[in-house]
Chains A and B, each alone.
Chain A
């Protein structure tokens, strides 16, 4: 027992150092950085290149990476991205940092190649036994990780809460306007914070590298597990986070002698523990107002930033009637492209678009969940996986006709949505996002590896659907079926926005308290939207499986889900046309790169997907609504010129002032998108 407890400290130390880097950065910036793993990995790889490939000494490489390159990278990221996140809606903060994580992991592969470094030296060139406790040999490397994790936590807490510098940082984060009034530049403070935060990520990456190797996926997995500590510490409490991370590592070790020898418990309990701890911590914290409403750091007053002004202008433009034909124009263009596709595309290119349409069905769930109810769901990929598993089991194992099985999969997804919704919906947006991510990771470790579902990693064979003698076995016929399904879903979601429930959502988006004042049943409406989204995601997953002819649950993993989220949100979570474009680009872009460009550029699409999500910082509503707003702006200008021309010619009465109630878009309109 004691041996395992001591041994667990080593793993706990790795979790702790990642947790500390996230908590300290969050305390100083109020941005939960999903990209911490990507930054840590990139800097650790740079250290490896300098130390092992270029033969610089370990201390020199460490100083170069942590004190020179990391702060410069932090400054660049702040200038390009992170510095503009503070005033953004939560969904944009999450999407942008997820986009950065996706882009960085792809960029490192493009820059340094695919060589996996299974074993590498870090700061200590010759690891050796330092001391022995309870029969466990502790190496100097393991001791260093735990010590530095503790030091980062203590120093971070002391600096933030015990020094004038910390007061300045907290003041700049909590109230930039008040900071300006006392002569502090919040922008400079934020830049310094991100430089320091990136350096901490670099230290974490270099220290854990000897233990976990140099593989972007492993870094992401360890970072995900370390989120348990972060959640236990409610994102801000350094001591709780440190203790939580160590607790998770120790628990994973202590449980070893008690695990059964075979079965799901034997394989799933230990890797699932961090995510079980996360969910339990979230349930425990439910009583906290901070967790439910994210009421921290509310500004008493603020000056609208350029992005907020742009957002408000876009909102007003999209509300005005001028140029409202653009929505039809967009759909007409999309319809022409989709109708032409089977005639223009041959062979597998049509198959690639078919796969894209199946992805599009999954992404349409964002319209209900994020676009309507404002919930950030990072386990959309898991719900799609549940749909795929359900169609495989129902059609192949229980011999339910495939089309019926596809529809029943949506029901299964909806039921899963109820369970997840009960846990996540009482939470604020950020906590809901973290919890859904934990659920996705939990499903990876427990649900999708279940042998009946994974079928020894080969998946369960699924046939294409049929209605009587009408088969959908060819790509063209399946394409037509998918178009019909998409059209029906789009119509339903369109009607939803215009229904009474849609009004509740609109009211909710403009302000929860406002909606509560009207007496709307907010929780019921949010649950309905979440369950509808879950059912649509599961339907999409079932369609992906029937398209591929196999229900392969391993493809619906949490890390892939981050890329899906980045692609979908970049187009605009409320945009149905955007969902279709996102689905098709997720399928077509990698295929284009694979066929027409050298293999070493194969990871570029991943970088592009990440960058697209990062661009949300400039267009928080997404690409599609931004394009529509620009089209309306153009239509408005054209119409004015035309009216001016007519007025000059004295040919009509249209030069009359605007009718009452037809307002100019103004920057004072607050963003509805929260």
Chain B
């Protein structure tokens, strides 16, 4: 058979053997196991890290790789997983949908990564990962975390159209009866906004102002502050970018919107943002979105995280939100590898982890995740959030996470 014929036959899948690419025999590492064990050898496991290292959005993901590296180093120091040392290879998607496809495919095909830990703003390569049974762990910010069997969220499943009542419940405890909910002209932001509105109304609260067109990024928010003032809302919930949140907090102060008792801003639990805001965020409430307990707590798991980050030379990144996310994503992957045991194939990893429950990253995560199918095929979204008050330029965490329900 000539090279061209071989290529053509393989290409169009007209022979029975052509679909076996990437099978366990591709590496020969896991004898007696059926399935794909790409990236697995007798002594090691290669894992991929897909993140944003270039482009204007790269700063958001600072620390993701360092958090993963520290967790992997710590695991290797304990002998790895079932005698296999872990190694990572990183790919940059440049915050581009098309670049993510090529970078993600490169991790799997060229670098031979067994699975991927993802910290990205787009999810275009996830269909490819699903097609090839590539296990993925990360923050549940995209719909594949609620639909794809091979994708696992560190805070549980993706929220989608479900309704979490935690924020309205938290506000109700503060005596709030009317809440304004802001959103960007962005489907993810609007989806969260609508979920909060549904939950608020289900708890008997009114929603007098709910714009869906807050500009992405910093802007002059005088008009928004005036609208908040005129609406008479007692609280504002803002699932927005940090820079937009800071603009609104500044305008609320400048226009003396005194009727607002509580202001809950997503994405502001970041020391850099707090520093840049120069006091504008004082009196507002942040949310520990990473799923890890706030680092300001005196908690054994938090101390362990900070000490690991310091021990492996990543302490400069420890406070970054995505460092904790990376640490948890690596921890979840290690947990999956341990569950899969010696017969380490992608299929076995996915099946065993999907049937597991009660993972809380040894106490670092404030919600114990159940990966079995529930409200979504990928389990339930987290019903908990840990709020932090911002006082005098400092994060002051609540004593415990606030938990409520997630409703259909």
- Collect the chain A residues with CB atoms within 8 Å of residue B183's CB: 267
Residues of B210-237 contacting chain A, CB below 8 A: 210-213, 215-220, 222-224, 226-227, 230
Residues of A209-264 contacting chain B, CB below 8 A: 211-213, 215-218, 221, 252-253, 256-257, 259, 261-262
- Assess whether A115 is in contact with B106, with CB atoms less than 8 Å apart: no
- Assess whether B92 is in contact with A599, with CB atoms less than 8 Å apart: yes
Residues of A514-564 contacting chain B, CB below 8 A: 544, 547-550, 552, 554-555, 560
Question: Mostly helix, strand, loop or mixed at chain A's interface?
Answer: helix
- Collect the chain A residues with CB atoms within 8 Å of residue B11's CB: 342, 474, 476-477, 480
- Assess whether B55 is in contact with A114, with CB atoms less than 8 Å apart: yes
Residues of A309-351 contacting chain B, CB below 8 A: 342-343, 346-349, 351
- Assess whether A266 is in contact with B211, with CB atoms less than 8 Å apart: yes
Asked whether A457 and B98 contact (CB < 8 A) given A117-B276, A268-B213, A476-B7, the answer is no
Q: Is residue A69 within 8 Å, beta carbon to beta carbon, of the partner chain?
A: no
Residues of B1-59 contacting chain A, CB below 8 A: 3, 7-8, 10-14, 53-59
Most B CB within 10 A of own CB, among A253, A476, A590: A590
Q: Is residue A302 within 8 Å, beta carbon to beta carbon, of the partner chain?
A: no
Give the total of A residues in contact with B, Cβ under 8 Å. Answer: 91
Alpha-carbon gap, A261 to B183, bound state (A): 11
Alpha-carbon gap, A349 to B109, bound state (A): 9
Alpha-carbon gap, A469 to B218, bound state (A): 53
Asked whether A211 and B213 contact (CB < 8 A) given A118-B276, A456-B187, A602-B54, the answer is no
Asked whether A459 and B124 contact (CB < 8 A) given A8-B223, A137-B256, A217-B56, the answer is yes
CB distance from B177 to the nearest CB of A (A): 18
Q: Is residue B97 within 8 Å, beta carbon to beta carbon, of the partner chain?
A: yes
Q: Is residue B110 within 8 Å, beta carbon to beta carbon, of the partner chain?
A: yes
Alpha-carbon gap, A270 to B227, bound state (A): 14
- Assess whether A352 is in contact with B102, with CB atoms less than 8 Å apart: yes
Interface pick from B165-173, B188-196, B367-375, B400-408: B188-196
Contact of B12 among A212, A477, A550 (CB under 8 A): A477
Contact of B186 among A14, A118, A135, A457 (CB under 8 A): A457
Q: Is residue B324 within 8 Å, beta carbon to beta carbon, of the partner chain?
A: no
- Collect the chain A residues with CB atoms within 8 Å of residue B276's CB: 117-120
Most B CB within 10 A of own CB, among A3, A121, A458: A458
Asked whether A555 and B220 contact (CB < 8 A) given A116-B243, A256-B227, A351-B102, the answer is no
Alpha-carbon gap, A671 to B57, bound state (A): 43
- Assess whether A213 is in contact with B53, with CB atoms less than 8 Å apart: no
Most A CB within 10 A of own CB, among B54, B183, B191: B54
- Assess whether A347 is in contact with B102, with CB atoms less than 8 Å apart: no
Asked whether A212 and B218 contact (CB < 8 A) given A347-B110, A348-B109, A547-B101, the answer is yes
Q: Is residue B160 within 8 Å, beta carbon to beta carbon, of the partner chain?
A: yes
Asked whether A458 and B142 contact (CB < 8 A) given A257-B227, A343-B7, the answer is yes
Interface of B toward A, CB cutoff 8 Å: 3, 7-8, 10-14, 53-60, 62, 90-92, 94, 96-99, 101-103, 105-110, 122-128, 131, 142-144, 160, 183, 185-188, 190-191, 194, 210-213, 215-220, 222-224, 226-227, 230, 242-243, 246-247, 250, 254-256, 272-273, 276-278, 280
Interface of A toward B, CB cutoff 8 Å: 3-4, 7-8, 10-11, 14, 105, 109, 114-121, 127, 129, 135-137, 139, 142, 211-213, 215-218, 221, 252-253, 256-257, 259, 261-262, 266-271, 342-343, 346-349, 351-352, 355, 359, 445, 449, 451, 454-459, 461, 469-474, 476-477, 480, 544, 547-550, 552, 554-555, 560, 587, 590-591, 594-595, 599, 602-603
- Ordered by A's residue number, 23 sampled pairs between the chains whose C-beta atoms are within 8 Å are A10-B220, A11-B219, A14-B220, A137-B255, A212-B218, A218-B216, A256-B224, A257-B227, A270-B185, A270-B211, A271-B215, A347-B106, A348-B109, A351-B109, A449-B186, A456-B191, A459-B124, A477-B13, A555-B98, A591-B106, A602-B55, A602-B94, A603-B54
